[in-house]
Structure 1
C-alpha cells in the first residue's frame, strides 16, 4: 500500500515528483530519494507548517521502507557516458 502524504507525494513511486519545503527539495526516485537545499524552520506559524509537512513526508518515507523486504544496499546506478557533438567546433 503506498504511503501518500497529504500533498500527494508517494515515496519511491516514480522518478519525477518533487516535494518542496521552502528551499528544501525531496526528489522522488524508485530506488532513492534525494534531498537538496536548505530549510529554515522559523519560530512562527510558517515554520510550524513547514516542520509538520517535512515530518509527514519523512514519516511516509520511513513507512514505505518499513513495509518492504529491503536489500542490504541498493546497487549504484551507472550510465554510459553520452557523447555529444561539440557546439563550439
Structure 2
C-alpha cells in the first residue's frame, strides 16, 4: 500500500480485505466491507486501514486551501467510442 497516494490520480484501486479503496483527485472512496476479527488477521487488517487513514489525513492536512465541501457530480453515460 505504500504506493497509494491519496488524491494523486484517477486510477489507483487497492483492497483491504473486501474493502475497496478507489483513488480520485477530489475524493477517496471506500466501498465494501472488512471484518476486523479479534485475532492476528484482524489486527493486520486494522493496521492496513490505519496506515491508509493516516495517509488520507496527511494529504488533506497538507492542502493550503481546503474547500468547505467538494461538489460530486453524477456519473455521465457516454457512447462507446469503439
Normalization by structure 1: what TM-score? Answer: 0.78
Quick check: which has more Rg, 1 or 2?
1
More relative contact order, 1 or 2 (CA 8 Å, 6+ apart): 1
Q: Does 1:8 align with 2:3?
A: yes
Normalization by structure 2: what TM-score? Answer: 0.83
Gaps of 5+ in 1: 1-5, 85-89
Gaps of 5+ in 2: none
1:45 Cα offset (Å): 1.2
Aligned length: 79
Q: Following superposition, which runs of at least 4 residues in structure 1 exceed 6 angstroms of deviation?
A: none
1:82 Cα offset (Å): 2.6
Give the alignment's Cα RMSD to 1 decimal: 1.8
Q: Aligned residue for 1:3?
A: none
